[in-house]
A = this chain, B = another copy of it.
Amino acid sequence: MIEIITIGDELLIGQVVNTNASWMAEEINGVGWSVRQITSVSDNAEEIRRALEEASLRADVVLMTGGLGPTKDDITKDVLCNYFSTRLVLHEAVLQNIESFFRRKGLPLTGLNRDQAMVPESARVIENPMGTAPGLAFEKDGKLFVAMPGVPYEMKHIMEVFVLPELVKSSDSQVIVHKTILTQGIGESFLAKMIEDWENSLAPDIKLAYLPSPGIVRLRLSMRGTDRMMMEAKIAEKVDELQKLIPVYIWGEGKETLEENVGKLLKERNKTLSTAESCTGGLIAHRITSVPGSSGWFAGSVIAYDNRIKIQMLAVNAEVLEMQGAVSKEVVEEMASGVQKILQTDYAIAVSGIAGPDGGTDEKPVGTVWIAVAGPQGVVSRKFLFGDERMRNIQRSSTAALAMLREQILNVK
């Protein structure tokens, strides 16, 4: 069992979201260990010490992030010296790394940066070429403690070069097998109803969790034991059954994103894509281009926020726009065909909707969104009614649009 302690006033004041803990937890689970608890405490010596003591009673490995930066609010190193009965000493290799780090960046070195080369004497130092604060590992009462910087990519580096390999080495024979099935287009409780019999047929040692997020519900099956192959076979069998039960809603598995999935499908078929976005304001293009290599299938986009641009850049008929309004089947289909033709792509997505908070009417309330997909077989469109929240509407529109594109490419539904 592992516990994660994330240190920093910014977490308890809510100015930073704890993305470190979720990344660490996922990686830890991936190598067969479980996280028992994640604890966030402030930059206060007593609180850090208390969290450290409590975690050490429950876990075999305690991982800490945060509180190792160059500025004055960071005090973790002193607590570690105190807890592990050691003292700060200058570490030559760390100093050299800091100096070379600043040289590479062409930046001058401050005294604060140089102080980061002072490390607890009994610690095993894990180099951090990505930054200036090294990782620090300790052993006490047969347990492993590792303190890492809070900067995400620095923490990730230390996890990858040191913590995860150590965990693999000292792992007992128990492993966890996970499989996550990704669904789209159906709410959690309807899905639960639809797969109720299947869920009841799961062996008691298979655990099922529903993980909903805007527009997507993930189903995670997990099993703990010693025989990885047997467990994987058991889970695969249940996943096959699920595939047959709800083929329309399942679009992928594991950590894959919808944009990665769509990108892969386009690449395999050697097809290209463009988007014409109104209410999503570029989010679909952003999601598509967040995938490495997306320049291979994504040509570009026209963000036609202003109606004038829908006419000028996407060749939407001005009379149709006037008559039907921007949020209409006719306009969104013209937007999709327009961008497909102008940017010369095989597929095109268009979205026009009322994200809110303003702009709603009785006939077209906030949350009304039209989405069209143009493809080799023509244009299809669908109307959605999401909710009242602007950011959620934008997010759900982008997910629904990518899912519609996927259906068109695969010719499902």
Contacts and interface: CB of A to CB of B under 8 A. Distances in A.
Interface in A217-269: 218, 220, 222
A292 B211 contact: no
Interface string A12-40: 11111111011111111100001111111
Nearest to A302: B302
- Complex copy number for this chain: 2
A389 interface: yes
A308 interface: yes
Contact of A210 (B37, B73, B187, B305): B73
22 contacts: A11-B21, A11-B22, A14-B25, A14-B35, A15-B218, A21-B40, A37-B41, A37-B47, A70-B189, A72-B192, A72-B199, A110-B193, A112-B192, A151-B212, A153-B389, A280-B289, A282-B282, A282-B283, A285-B285, A300-B304, A300-B306, A313-B313
A185 interface: no
A300 B303 contact: yes
Interface in A264-289: 275, 277, 280-286, 288-289
A73 B209 contact: yes
Given A15-B211, A15-B218, A73-B207, 11 more contacts: A12-B25, A13-B25, A13-B220, A36-B47, A39-B40, A73-B208, A275-B303, A280-B286, A300-B302, A301-B303, A303-B303
Contact of A18 (B17, B36, B218): B17
A27 to B, nearest CB: 7
Interface of A: 9-19, 21-29, 34-43, 47, 51, 54, 69-73, 107, 110, 112-113, 132, 151, 153, 178, 180, 187-190, 192-193, 199, 207-213, 218, 220, 222, 275, 277, 280-286, 288-290, 292-295, 298-306, 308-309, 313, 342-343, 356-359, 389-392, 394
A29 B13 contact: yes
Contacts of A295: 305-306, 359
